[in-house]
Amino acid sequence: MKTSHPQLAVRAGLLLAVALLFAACLGRGVRETLGLGIERNVTHIAAGQSVRLVAYEEYRETSGSILSVRAASPINILRAKVLARWSVSDAALAYINADGTLTALKPGRITVTSAWESYTATTEIEVVRGLPFPTLPQISAPSGSACKPQSVDLSLDEERALRFRISFDGCEDISLETKATETPLPWRMKAAGSDASLEITEARGPVVKGVVRRAGDEISFTAWSRGAGAYPVSLAGRKVLLVGDSMGQGIAPFLQRKVEAAGGSFVGAPEQSSTIIWWQGSGKLRALIAQHRPDSIFIALGSNELYMKNAQERAPVIRAMLAEIGAREAYWIGPPTWKPGSTLSPVIEENFQSGHFYNSESLSVPRGKDGKHPTLEGYDQWVELIWRWYARAL
């Protein structure tokens, strides 16, 4: 029996459709998942603040036939947001909702984990008592810029080795490693083998502001700098008050030089043989604050009560001084012990502004004939140590 022409046309059409489908399968790109990541939009968060974390699938697409996919060259690594499951390492420090909203509760370091399908990713976040912003880093790029900044890493060690890296989505990262100068800010540096440059404009303790310039773009940032190195202190327009005992009297001229070199003004008002309880009970501290209205206060007290039998008696007195100081920054220079047995320093530290107590118990500097008070050279060395600590504690 002969086959009609319409049947031949139908069969030919089916064969053509199958051939086209097979060809499409041969040429279709293949998506390969590489892992899971968390956007690095926060390294530090202030207690009481919240931030939304985002998890993303990291993948690449290969082109060519499915028969040659293993030999194909991968194109750029791509990202796509995913709905992940979230958890935190310490629920006493922070909690996280199902949508990735992290709320900080109290200071400490946490590990945040996201899970999606068979993949997991983690990031570490430091909860701190206070920040100039709810979270760090803060990064701002010009509108319309082809390079979207993702994260900033910055560190300065005690040997003044400065390391900087800013990563981008869609552009090459910028890295810089150099020896930082001891000159006042701003610092300006060029990235090796690139037209990019970095300018660090301001530092307040470990919180550093700066600008990255590349191809006509200016990317400003505020980030937390890691490491034990201290950035130059700027006290322009600020007044510093020093109160204390005879140890404060020895510190005063050397601290005054540091404050004035940083652009600030200095008021020194230590009283020989004075005590913690005298400064609070006499109203002297309140009077000096009212008279001079300082921005910051240094307290060098405790040497005349260093070996009292019950140091805990000073706890409510220290808290009363703290109330008189109010919202001002204050830094307590602990008494330099000269024999074992004192329990006063821990009491001061526990009852004063968190992180603002300089422990001088292990102080090793030249001392005078009494074995207690440093020599002039000793005071100079002591203040140098205090200043380095202060520059990091601001």
User: What superfamily does domain 31-128 belong to in CATH?
Assistant: Immunoglobulins (2.60.40.10)
Contact assessment for residue 172 and residue 212, using Cβ atoms and an 8 Å cutoff: no
* Residue-range domain boundaries for the chain: 31-128, 137-224, 239-393
pLDDT the model gives residue 6: 58
Q: Would you place residue 13 in the very low, low, confident or very high pLDDT band (cuts 50, 70, 90)?
A: low
- 323-334 pLDDT, tens digit per residue, is 999 999 999 999
For 345-358, write each residue's pLDDT tens digit: 999 999 999 889 99
Kindly provide the b/e burial profile for residues 49-60, where b requires at least 16 CB atoms within 10 angstroms of the residue's own CB.
Answer: bebebbbbbeee
**Distance between CA atoms of residues 278 and 285, nearest Å:** 9
Q: What mean pLDDT is reported for the chain?
A: 90
Q: Looking at domain 239-393, does it have CATH number 3.90.850.10?
A: no
Specify the pLDDT at position 49: 97
Instruction: Say how far apart CA 175 and CA 153 lie, in whole Å.
Output: 9
Total-model pTM: 0.78
Q: How many CA atoms lie within 13 A of 135 on its CB side?
A: 17
For residue 75, pLDDT over 60 is answered with no
- What pLDDT digit, counting tens, does each position of 177-220 carry? 999 998 999 999 999 888 999 999 999 999 999 999 998 899 99
For residue 63, the model assigns a pLDDT of: 63
Spatial contact of 323 and 270, defined as CB atoms under 8 Å apart: no
Q: What pLDDT, on a 0 to 100 scale, did the predictor assign at position 153?
A: 95
Q: What is the pLDDT of residues 246-305, one digit of tens each?
A: 999 999 999 999 999 999 999 999 999 999 999 999 999 999 999 999 999 999 999 999
> What is the average per-residue pLDDT within 51-65?
83
